[in-house]
Amino acid sequence: MRSLFSFPNPVNEVSARLVAGGVVAMSAAALAFQLEWLVAIIALGFLARVATGPSLSVLGQLVTRVVTPRLPIAPKPVPGPPKRFAQGIGAVFSVTSFLLLAFDLNVAGWIVLAALTMAAALEAFFAFCLGCKMFALLTRMGLIPDSVCEACNNIQARTDAALERAAASS
């Protein structure tokens, strides 16, 4: 059992892509209708997901507890640290967008939100996670130690271990 304030590892990529789709939908609505309050909700969702994965995120809970279990798609485990890094990038973009809008720098705020929307769309529709690619590049450059994501190199071993722990606890 993981604690409330821990990020899952591995992450189900199916759920991650569905959450990204929710971000795309909310961001597109905020952009289309100039809904600054919705940008605040998007930012709070990213902050919650960075801190706890889906635990404190309304969108994360909806996707992981309601939507994903009802889909006829097998889970696809991927390493958690790159996904958490990507959520952090989303938090930076969404909080920046909100602050720019709050200080009446509307054009800049909407441009930042549009960039976030495009990145989320790449994840949702093409399984291309820009934050994960940045994480990999920073790891190769030595800016993120390999130990941060040992599971990135062998996700199957981590998945097998998680399944064994689940079977042992039931």
Q: What are the pLDDT digits (tens) for 116-154?
A: 999 999 999 999 999 999 999 999 898 988 888 776 655
Cα–Cα separations (whole angstroms), residue 22 to 28, 136, 148: 10, 25, 28
Identify whether 155 is part of a domain: yes
* Residue 57 within a domain: yes
Q: What is the pTM of this model?
A: 0.84
Task: Tell me: pLDDT of 3 over 70.
Answer: no
Q: Are 116 and 58 in contact (CB under 8 A)?
A: no
Number of domains forming the structure of the chain:
1
pLDDT for the residue numbered 152? 67
In a domain, 1, yes or no: no
Domain boundaries, position 36 = 11-169
At residue 85 the predicted structure's pLDDT band, cuts being 50, 70 and 90, is very high
Residue 28 CB partners (closer than 8 Å, separation 6+): 117
